[in-house]
Amino acid sequence: MGVKFACDFRFLLLLAAGFFIYLQIRLFATQSKYADRLAAAVDSENQCTTQTRRLIDQISMQQGRIVALEEEKKQQDKEYMQMKALVQDLEGKGLQRLTDKSQVHVAAVVIMACNRADYLERTLTSVLKYQSHIAKKYPLFVSQDGSDPSVRKKAMSYDQLTYMQHLDSKPVLTERPGELIAYYKIAQHYKWALDKLFYGHNFSRVIILEDDMEIAPDFFDYFEAAAALMEKDKSIMAVSSWNDNGQKQFVHDPYVLYRSDFFPGLGWMLTRSTWDELSPKWPKAYPYWLHVHSTYWDDWLRLQENHKGRQFVRPEVCRTYNFGEHGSSLGQFFKQYLEPIKLNDVQVDWKSMDLSYLMEDKYKEYFAQILRKAKPISGVDAALKASNIGADVRIQYSDQPDFERVARQFGIFEEWKDGVPRAAYKGVVVFRYNGPNCVFLVGPNSLEQLGI
């Protein structure tokens, strides 16, 4: 029995040993899993700590950049204010030197410039050639948009003018995709400069030129005579020195002036009373979606809602020549329409000219009499017929496409703006063909409007 008990006891010991070993194995396995989890947790915590540190470093860097940008903006604002103060000081000194309070000014003359110093020099050479001896009547300004140093240096190298500088105090943004910022900047520059001249310097009239124009010998005499006309007739919104169809082959008589329902631009004069009306609603830039080719402030002026039936005086032979092949308009129409322009070279004595025929109450009948004498011909082979007749002719067109078809035969401007052909009066476009003979393209309602 003792032997049996010993065997049972050993068996129990083996069972207990086996159970103990099993417990140890389980305990080891549990400890291993816990250790793995602990290690993973520690590793995850380390990664999180590293990412947190990186994020903190990035935030610190961004904060540093923000601080740097703020400092840069403060510095730019400071430089802008310093430059503005300097320009105002120079402008004040220049204006004080060039203007005589006892002298009655005909008009201030402003040349709008940006970044073409060579163009500006050519324009100034032309203007000063005829302005210098009458400078007191026509104080000369150069208004620069932006801070191109070569343009500023060129403008300030002339003692005969007052320099103005338009600086953007904040970035210029377009309102629609595809629009050019240049047109926004130009429109803003025009408003700033005209506000400055009319309200800051109290001029009653301003002649606007651009930095790519030469002028005719009688440019200033022409505008002086026109200024007297504008004083008498408030239906004249502006006077221009430009004729859109002023190419050499379409002009003949430097003494002839016309009224037009189409704003010509390119060297023009307006009064303060007109600017009082336009300045508050001046466009940021004329939106291109209103017309396929319209992206400029002058097209806004051509809207009937802005000129309100008022008209413009223009010459047959241009008193300005636009040589600006390179610019914000990318040389649009230059070779076809601008390069062949005839710049007047005759010294017309405008003071002795009777311009009363241009008054609104007389001009309609004056123009109608000329038109009545023209021989009617059809629009088929119009250019050939006009060449063979050897006298003034008139050609009726029915609508815009019909006008464009006839205009294309002669090579004049086909373009319309807000229902008005370029250079038209009461829908009639007149130009010379084969010397002194006139061609009148007559709209569907033109004869009725003129009482013919």
Is there a contact between 417 and 262 (Cβ–Cβ < 8 Å)?
yes
CA–CA distance from 143 to each of 111, 156, 205, 263 (Å)? 6, 11, 16, 23
100: left (phi over 0), alpha (psi -120 to 50) or beta: beta
Q: Tokens 């004869």 correspond to what residue?
A: 447
- In b/e form, how buried is each residue of 405-432, taking b as 16+ CB within 10 angstroms? ebbebbbbbbbbbbebbbbbbbbbbbbb
Name the token pair of 37: 């989890």
Q: Tokens 């220049």 correspond to what residue?
A: 94
Name the token pair of 386: 């006009």
Give residues with Cβ within 8 angstroms of 296, minimum separation 6: 183, 186, 187, 285, 286, 329
* CA 13 to chain CA centroid, nearest Å: 106
Is there a contact between 262 and 420 (Cβ–Cβ < 8 Å)?
yes
Q: How far apart are CA 9 and CA 371, in angstroms?
A: 143
Closest of 364, 278, 267, 250 to residue 320, by C-alpha: 267
Closest of 207, 417, 389, 399 to residue 307, by C-alpha: 417
Q: How far apart are CA 316 and CA 42, in angstroms?
A: 91
Q: How far apart are CA 225 and CA 223, in angstroms?
A: 5
**Around Cβ 77, how many Cβ atoms within 10 Å?**
11
CA-derived radius of gyration, the chain? 39
Q: How far apart are CA 427 and CA 448, in angstroms?
A: 11
Pairing of strands 268-271, 311-315: unpaired
Q: Indicate which residue of 89, 100, 218, 298 is catalytic.
A: 298
118 is catalytic: no
Q: How far apart are CA 16 and CA 69, in angstroms?
A: 78
Give residues with Cβ within 8 angstroms of 27, minimum separation 6: none
DSSP state for residue 288 in the 8-state scheme: G
Q: Identify the H or E element spanning 25.
A: helix 2-98
Residue positions annotated with a catalytic role: 298
